[in-house]
Amino acid sequence: MRRYTKANNVINQFYTIAFTHRNLDVSHIGRLHIEMDEQQARFETLKEVLKVEEVLFLSTCNRVEYLLITKNPLSATFLQQFFHTLYPSMDEELLDFYASNAAIMQGMDAVNHVLSVASSIDSLVVGEREIITQVRQAFEQAKAMKLSGDFIRVLIRHTIETAKRVYTETKISLKPVSVV
């Protein structure tokens, strides 16, 4: 019989909602960017409305990702409410578009995705080092806004350590390769 610890339960409540060059055109990704001065209010509202315990928002020139801890499964209804809460001025057709085009990962798949992103394995330019800084900055912003908690803190700490090892112990960053 397999025993579930608190950590196992929390990891199963960890999700990533990702929009990258793999599932969306860059022009559509740009519409999901939220200006820094609006992030705290929008994500606090999201946490309250959808009972999200932790959230981290990563927005770069070619990716927007949301890392979150929630006991709620990411159903179609959840995704509709998620995007409606974060983007209240967006029309319903566009909200449906984003909800149906989101790449969603849960548990260890979500953890592995975050590791791949920070290590630039899942980047438009494989081997570029800027993403590790962007992940760290996104975490620092979430932490400063009190949007993230222990799980995301530990995840990002290990993610940064792992990404540094990937860059220093492999040759991935010697000749970055564009996926395009």
Report, as residue numbers or ranges, the catalytic residues. Answer: 61
- Angstrom distance (rounded) from CA 151 to CA 85: 23
Helix (H) or strand (E) holding 37: helix 36-50
Closest CA to 50 of 14, 80, 95, 8: 80
138, exposed or middle or buried, with CB in 10 Å at 0-12, 13-18, 19+?
buried
Q: Up-side HSE of residue 25: CA atoms within 13 Å toward CB?
A: 3
